[in-house]
Chains A and B, each alone.
Chain A
Amino acid sequence: MSKAFRLVSFFVSLLLAGTLLAGCGTKEKPKESGKAGQQATEIKIGAIHPLTGNLAYEGKAIRNALELAFEEVNAAGGIKSLGGAKLKLIDGDNQGSPEKAVTEVQRLVKEGAVILTGCYTSSATFAATQEAEKLKTPFVVTIASAPNILERGFKYSFRVQPNANVFAKNFIDYMKELVTPDIKTAAIMHEDTLFGTTFADYIEKHIGETGLKLVARVPYSNQSPNLTAEINKVAAAKPDILIGTGYYRDQTLMVKTLKEQKVKVKAIIGIANGAFSDPKFIDELGKDAEYIMDVNYCHNPKNSKSKEVMEKYQQKYGSPLSSHAVYGYVVGKLIADVLERAGSTDKEKIREALTKTNFADHILPNKEIRFNEAGENVNAAGVITQIQNGKKLVVYPGEYAEAKLIFPMPQQ
């Protein structure tokens, strides 16, 4: 390494340090001025999602949807009960880790956030809600499905989305109504971390209620490059329906392998499936994706507002609004409603208003949002979607359905 090179890189690192410090200076200032006149002008809402790392894509989408909701609120005149105050999103990046989530909760509250939202992964949400509780700051979960996040008696945490148990219960309830006499057995293939295991445990325990018999339970690692052995296990059990829970890559691989091995089942149903509700899945599998069902959250296709939001999102961010991001949007609108009712940026009053939520002006296929003692949305529920002619459509329950359910699927 030449001396000149060393010198140059020394200066580069000096510059880097310089920019850091400079950034430090400029950041400091608005904080001071914000304190003086914060009441009327701006309300800060913290969003803590994975913005870097392998979950960044979804984290960003949820964050963008929140931003979109805030922009709509601001364009419509802000929070009227607070003199037209504008909502301002401040970003936190938890990089998918609990430690970072805690640090970000601290930082955002310090920067003046009165409500926090997050965190996409359950492990980060555990830590973040706990920290928010300590700081007495309301926390609205955008996405995190582990049921026990809200089983710890927290006063400041709220969740709009159905938790894992609700999804699994929805699945059981829907199957009770849908199962016909010629469908007798089921197999479940699930990825083996928290996400997939939670569902599988619930299904194993309750599937008897639907009249179905579980003939195989096949866990796999979501890192595994090949699922042939697992599919063979499923094939050997000859189930009528195959239940799948997992993430995008592994569940896509599961369906691909199933089709390659020509294993015939009467239906493939996902529960909160990372693949079956993703538009990419249809692109990747084409005809093989047809008739695949998923019990998942989704926007309400019967609500004309949904289409409008989806178009706006597509236009602004250049990608379709994913079903996770729908909750970012809904949480954003909910926060506006809560602040409107609270008429204050006092965190206690905001919490008070959150507990009294009765919010129906959303784009979910659910009734109004109301929170129970624990902070769970009592009307949270998933719907069944099905891929028909290359489109993911809501097919069940009837009041939200945009197409008729095809079950069992026609055998090619």
Chain B
Amino acid sequence: MAETRTLAKKKKRVVSLAAALLALLAAALLPQVIDSYYLNLLIITAYGIYLAQCWNIMSGLAGQFSFGHATFFGLGAYTSSLLFTKAGLTPWVGMFAGGAVAALMGLFIGFLAFRYQLKGHYFALATLAFAEILRVLALNWRFVGGAMGILIPLGNKPANFQFPETVHYYYVILVMAALITFLVYKLGSSKLGLYLVAIRENEEAAEAMGVNSFKYKLIAVSISAFLTALGGTFYAQFYSYLDPELAFGTAVSVNILTPAIIGGVGTVWGPVVGALVLTPIAELTRGLLSSGISMIVYGLIIIVVIIYLPEGIVGLLQKVWRRRIIFKRRTTVVENKPGVKKGGF
């Protein structure tokens, strides 16, 4: 009996993996049939998925809600751009330098916050404060361009993370988004991931079970920070311009976390679904309705989602799925021990 169940599980996993691969393949082939307007939307979507997924590792999986991911995003963007414009170092390398800087910053913030037991809203506020500090610093520090920001010289050498065709940027960000989604998926069933979920669900209990919550929280923050910084480099290279507001502004932090929240915090597919839903909504409302109304409609849709789907779209789907299973089980006569209820993951 148990064997058939694991077999069924395995089969299910293969099917879902195949589905994901197919979706990825479709996404990769899409640019062949669409024009540059939709291509741009695809880039924005994939970029949204990537950043939301970064946020998801720290705030979804480990439950350390960050309201200041712009800190890491901006550090990544600034580091690689400065290395590129001032030292001529290719952003392919610079992005990892940026990642390292951001990860160190993450460790620093995490160390301070966790050492002094900052939790929940207070932790979120602390992250916000760091982003603001960096914004003001960047604004007043001449060496990094001050208020002028950094204008990245245009070029089309792939070796410099600059491509002749927009579609190349799409492939870069698509691969990044796919890899990180896979990473989050893998993390979910790994020991580290389970520790993180345990910490999120009940830190004291996790500690009591011997999980070093301080250490694992720091690991989550630094992984998330590192990856977010890579997204920052992508932004700088794609738009070729960077200023303190674009790198460290509150709007950046909000845009990073919205897809994850709409899609479903702490789930593998939440950020993906969130970005896939949000980008078209933002576009449709802006393109079709007059400017003021579009914002109202966009806002309304988000409010409706938050009121009715507190666990996001994926949360809703899971609920429906579970109900169906329970319903099925009730109707079948065979009563087995109910399987272990799957957690948020």
Contact = CB atoms under 8 A, between A and B. Distances in A.
Please say whether chains A and B are actual partners in one complex. yes
A197 B148 contact: yes
A193 B241 CA distance: 15
Interface in B22-79: 35-37, 40-41, 44
A195 B154 CA distance: 23
A99 B241 contact: no
A27 interface: yes
A29 interface: no
Interface residues of A, number: 43
Contact of B151 (A52, A109, A126, A135): A126
A103 B44 contact: yes
B110 interface: no
Interface stretch (B90-98, B111-119, B173-181, B284-292): B284-292
A148 interface: yes
A127 interface: yes
A23 B287 CA distance: 10
Contacts of B239: 98-99, 102, 126-127, 130
Interface string A76-100: 0000000000000001010001111
A198 interface: yes
Given A126-B151, A194-B243, A198-B148, A102 B288 contact: no
Given A106-B40, A110-B37, A130-B154, A194 B301 contact: no
B160 to A, nearest CB: 15
Contacts of A20: 284-285, 288, 297
A120 to B, nearest CB: 14
B295 A27 contact: no
Interface string A115-152: 00000000100110010001100000000001010001
A51 interface: yes
A104 B283 CA distance: 9
Nearest to B35: A110
Contacts of B301: 13, 16
14 contacts: A6-B308, A10-B308, A16-B301, A20-B285, A51-B291, A100-B286, A102-B40, A107-B283, A107-B287, A130-B154, A148-B151, A152-B153, A197-B146, A198-B147
Given A13-B301, A197-B148, 5 more contacts: A51-B291, A107-B287, A126-B241, A135-B36, A195-B147
Interface of B: 35-37, 40-41, 44, 139-140, 146-149, 151, 153-154, 166, 239-241, 243, 245-246, 251, 283-292, 294-295, 297, 300-301, 304, 307-308
